[in-house]
């Protein structure tokens, strides 16, 4: 499968000599490197319908819960229930990503000799997150990657960001009450015949910030029905795995949009094309969502996230 083809969006550069008046209001972002137009019915960008961006009136901060899980981890279903309960209690403001990963892959690898635990949910990005955050067992998770309580780590991370599931609710409540620093909008086009997904993002900084900030886009499968081990030696063959991290549209750590500092009112535009897998029915467009977030590259903290359900 082709991986990510492309690339890039920059701060909008408006040139009066190049754009007409209507384009000044909703300019096409400058793109370096170009998109893979073989993933579309068009030969180049001239025939493509670029997004029109309207004012983002959102005023609230969302919370991303990254649930590090595994299909043979008997304690993981309870943590998954905790995460989805928090998500359900805060519709639109709490987003769950299930990441099948740990430093040892103990609970993620297909079980030798098993007739049912054959699915491998792991991704390269998920494995790197587990290594970076020293996720040595499951279940553990993050809430916007804010300072956690477990474990102590030796990697170059200012503070451990992993938490046990019992703390997710209180951490989420604290984060939901904080102010908003950046708004995110996402638009997309999907071309079924080419399996091409074109994703466009707008990052609008509400407040001035210092530091380096990246934007990341997860492709998640909303539901994957596959076996899961349960406590007491039980197994559920038709377990509903929720929002499974399945690919990163723009790489493990995404793309840098801010280097050093950003002032209030600055907007950044990014464009990506991605070939959706076609050999697995769970990648049907109606079963896919995008989780887009901006995070601080030094602390790893997520400062805003949004989810976009595809159809």
pLDDT tens digits, 102-138: 999 999 999 888 889 999 999 999 999 999 999 999 9
Distance, CA of 37 to CA of 44 (rounded, Å) = 6
pLDDT-flagged residues of the chain (< 50) = 1-33
pLDDT of residue 155: 67
Residues 6+ away with beta carbon under 8 Å from 82: 165, 166, 168, 169
What is the three-class DSSP state of 285?
Answer: helix
Residue 246, CB half-sphere, CA atoms under 13 Å: how many? 23
Which tens digits make up the pLDDT trace of 7-23? 334 333 333 233 332 32
Mean confidence (pLDDT) of the chain: 89
Strands (E), the chain: 63-69, 94-100, 140-143, 182-191, 196-205, 209-210, 213-229, 235-248, 255-258, 261-262, 267-275, 288-296, 302-309
Q: Is residue 14 part of a domain?
A: no
Residue 125: strand pairing partners: none
Domain count, the chain: 1
What is the three-class DSSP state of 293?
Answer: strand
Q: Which domain holds residue 96?
A: 62-181+214-258+282-309
User: 153, 159, 140, 152: which is closest to 101 by C-alpha?
Assistant: 140
Q: Is residue 70 part of a domain?
A: yes
The percent of residues above 70 in pLDDT, for the chain, comes to: 87
Q: Is residue 247 part of a domain?
A: yes
Query: Torsions phi, psi of 131, nearest 5?
Result: -70, -45
Q: Do 222 and 283 touch, CB atoms closer than 8 A?
A: no
Q: Is 243 exposed, middle or buried (0-12, 13-18, 19+ CB in 10 A)?
A: buried
Cα 41 from chain centre: 27
User: 139, 178, 132: which is closest to 153 by C-alpha?
Assistant: 132
pLDDT of residue 224: 98
pLDDT of residue 112: 81
DSSP 8-state class, residue 231: G
Q: Is residue 43 part of a domain?
A: no
Q: Is residue 21 part of a domain?
A: no
Q: Is residue 273 part of a domain?
A: no
Q: Tell me the whole-structure pTM to 2 decimals.
A: 0.88
DSSP 8-state class, residue 110: P
């Amino acid at each position: 499968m082709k991986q990510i083809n492309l690339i890039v969006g920059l701060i909008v550069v408006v040139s009066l000599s190049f754009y007409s008046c209507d384009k000044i209001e909703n300019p096409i972002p400058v793109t370096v490197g170009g998109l893979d137009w073989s993933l579309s019915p068009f030969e180049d960008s001239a025939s493509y319908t670029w997004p029109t961006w309207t004012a983002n009136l959102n005023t609230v901060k969302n919370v991303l819960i990254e649930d590090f899980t595994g299909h043979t981890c008997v304690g993981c279903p309870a943590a998954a229930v905790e995460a989805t309960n928090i998500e359900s209690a805060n519709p639109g403001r709490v987003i769950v990503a299930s990441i099948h990963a740990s430093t040892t892959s103990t609970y993620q690898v297909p079980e030798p000799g098993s007739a049912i635990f054959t699915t491998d949910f792991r991704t390269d990005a998920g494995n790197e997150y587990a290594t970076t955050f020293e996720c040595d067992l499951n279940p553990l998770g993050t809430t916007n990657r804010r300072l956690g309580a477990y474990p102590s780590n030796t990697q170059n991370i200012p503070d451990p960001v992993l938490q046990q599931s019992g703390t997710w609710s209180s951490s989420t409540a604290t984060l939901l009450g904080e102010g908003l620093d950046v708004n995110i909008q996402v638009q997309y086009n999907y071309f079924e015949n080419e399996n091409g997904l074109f994703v466009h993002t707008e990052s609008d900084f509400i407040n001035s910030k210092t530091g380096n900030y990246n934007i990341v886009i997860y492709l998640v499968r909303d539901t994957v029905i596959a076996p899961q081990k349960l406590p007491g030696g039980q197994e559920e063959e038709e377990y509903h795995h929720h929002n499974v991290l399945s690919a990163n549209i723009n790489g493990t750590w995404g793309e840098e949009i801010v280097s050093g500092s950003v002032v209030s009112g600055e907007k950044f535009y990014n464009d990506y094309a991605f070939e959706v897998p076609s050999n697995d029915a769970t990648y049907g467009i109606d079963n896919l969502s995008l989780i887009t977030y901006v995070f601080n590259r030094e602390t790893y903290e997520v400062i805003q996230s949004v989810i976009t359900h595809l159809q």
